[in-house]
């Protein structure tokens, strides 16, 4: 029988069936969890030429291949590497594509650990780092230098949710000979496909929506045909390998990611719209809202929104932010997101040089989980009342 092909099916069908063929594993619907270091060869000649599919645990197993194939199907990529964390999904491609003397442009609203890595490791290795305004769009052409090798994007932005004009940035970056990378964790490939918009390297913290249960760390990096070989070689050189049980759990989580995302999206939009009407709220930073400055670009490029956004309180500072957080009973206070439970955190913008406001009051980032919306609204009201009384 011919291999099954789900590339032209609906997204939920694709998520349910891509990544492995049960007929490859005696009919079992999930691939085996292979714990591997040593792989044996049948004879010396095969060993000398490495002329077999698997040669050592660091170079892939049926478990990692299953998840990589599923991600390639979603991304439309030439290949995907799997790494132990979302941060590793950022650091591995940057190390693979940058060298001493190169210039990298990174959006100023980037995920804070990405900035820390750039400012410490990349700078120490001789890479020149420059941060740019998330609203720069085609204007990034003016920032390009002859040695600009990477333009790093993230849209929507971490914590403040600015929308970048990715196609315009890609056009300018490619004209200058740079590779464009994008952290697409917020949207997942279900709501935005970076490679379809010209991005060369698509980065995801699979810790978030693909895993979906707040108990796994994992990252994926997918590349275009032109960039795949260099990304893969960098991955092999760094030896940054994921644990097989974690890979399996993410593949398992991927099967329900579509229905979970629909719930996250619906609940988050309802709560965001409701928050715009609440006293004590100055602004809601959610690109799916018509009030958001980047809404038109979001509507043009994205097919949906996920469950995380920020709210700006109408005045106050850390005292009001902490009062809000401490009054919450359902929302947990935690830095991650993408899991089944709602979370809240006070946003810190002190590391930024450009995209730092001004804002009317403290920023609170909300991850809207799978709980009942009315319960979450009541919890947020407790927080707002406490902040107003602080």
Q: Please state the separation of Cα 385 from the chain's center in Å.
A: 33
Distance in Å from the first CA to the final CA of the chain: 68
What are the φ and ψ backbone dihedral angles of 131, each rounded to 5 degrees?
Answer: -100, 145
Residues facing residue 283 across a β-bridge: 312
Residue with tokens 């719930």: 263
pLDDT of residue 126: 98
How many C-beta atoms surround the C-beta of residue 226 within 10 A? 10
Question: Quick check: 209 and 177 in contact, CB under 8 A?
Answer: no
CA 123 – CA 120 distance, rounded (Å): 5
Evaluate the omega torsion of the peptide bond into residue 156 and state whether it is cis, within 30 degrees of 0.
yes
Read off the tokens for 66. 């299953």
The alpha-carbon radius of gyration of the chain (Å, integer) is 22
The pair of three-digit structure tokens given for residue 349, joined into one six-digit string:
């913008």
The pTM assigned to this predicted structure is: 0.95
Contact 258, 12 (CB under 8 A): yes
Tens place of pLDDT for every residue, the chain, 390 residues?
A: 456 677 778 899 999 888 888 888 888 888 889 999 999 999 999 999 999 999 999 999 999 999 999 999 999 999 999 999 999 999 999 999 999 999 999 999 999 999 999 999 999 999 999 999 999 999 999 999 999 999 999 999 999 999 999 999 999 999 999 999 999 999 999 999 999 999 999 999 999 999 999 999 999 999 999 999 999 999 999 999 999 999 999 999 999 999 999 999 999 999 999 999 999 999 999 999 999 999 999 999 999 999 999 999 999 999 999 999 999 999 999 999 999 999 999 999 999 999 998 999 999 999 999 999 999 999 999 999 999 999
Write the burial class of residue 224 (CB in 10 Å: 0-12 exposed, 13-18 middle, 19+ buried). buried
Whole-number pLDDT of residue 28: 86
CA distance 234 to 90: 12
Residue 179: its pLDDT value, please? Answer: 98
Give the SS3 label for residue 321. helix
Residue that the structure tokens 């619906």 belong to: 266
């Amino acid at each position: 029988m011919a291999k099954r092909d789900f590339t032209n099916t609906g997204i939920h069908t694709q998520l349910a069936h891509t990544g492995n063929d049960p007929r490859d594993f005696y009919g079992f619907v999930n691939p085996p969890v292979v714990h591997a270091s040593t792989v044996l060869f049948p004879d010396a000649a095969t060993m000398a030429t490495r002329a077999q599919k698997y040669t050592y645990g660091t170079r892939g197993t049926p478990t990692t291949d299953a998840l990589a194939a599923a991600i390639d199907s979603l991304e439309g990529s030439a290949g995907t590497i799997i790494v132990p964390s979302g941060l590793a999904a950022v650091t591995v491609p940057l190390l693979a594509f940058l060298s001493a003397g190169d210039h990298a442009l990174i959006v100023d609203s980037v995920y804070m650990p990405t900035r820390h890595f750039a400012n410490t490791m990349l700078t120490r290795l001789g890479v020149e780092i420059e941060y740019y305004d998330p609203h720069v769009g085609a204007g990034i052409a003016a920032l390009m230098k002859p040695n600009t090798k990477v333009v790093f994007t993230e849209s929507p932005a971490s914590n403040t949710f600015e929308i970048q004009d990715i196609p315009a940035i890609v056009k300018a970056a490619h004209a200058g000979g740079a590779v464009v990378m994008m952290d697409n964790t917020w949207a997942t490939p279900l709501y935005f496909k970076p490679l379809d918009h010209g991005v060369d390297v698509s980065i995801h913290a699979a810790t978030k929506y693909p895993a979906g249960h707040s108990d796994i760390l994992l990252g994926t990096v997918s590349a275009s045909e032109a960039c795949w070989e260099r990304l893969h070689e960098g991955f092999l050189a760094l030896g940054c390998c994921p644990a097989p049980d974690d890979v399996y759990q993410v593949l398992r989580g991927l099967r329900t990611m579509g229905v979970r995302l629909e719930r996250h999206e619906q609940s988050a939009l309802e709560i965001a719209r409701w928050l715009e009407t609440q006293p004590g709220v100055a602004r809601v930073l959610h690109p799916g809202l018509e009030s958001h400055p980047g809404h038109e670009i979001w509507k043009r490029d994205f097919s949906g929104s996920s469950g995380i956004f920020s709210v700006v309180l109408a005045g106050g500072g850390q005292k009001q932010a902490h009062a809000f957080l401490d009054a919450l009973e359902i929302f947990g206070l935690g830095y991650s997101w993408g899991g089944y439970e709602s979370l809240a955190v006070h946003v810190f913008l002190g590391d930024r040089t450009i995209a730092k406001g001004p804002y009317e009051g403290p920023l609170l980032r909300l991850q809207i989980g799978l709980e009942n919306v009315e319960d979450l609204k009541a919890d947020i009201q407790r927080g707002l009342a406490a902040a107003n009384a602080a």
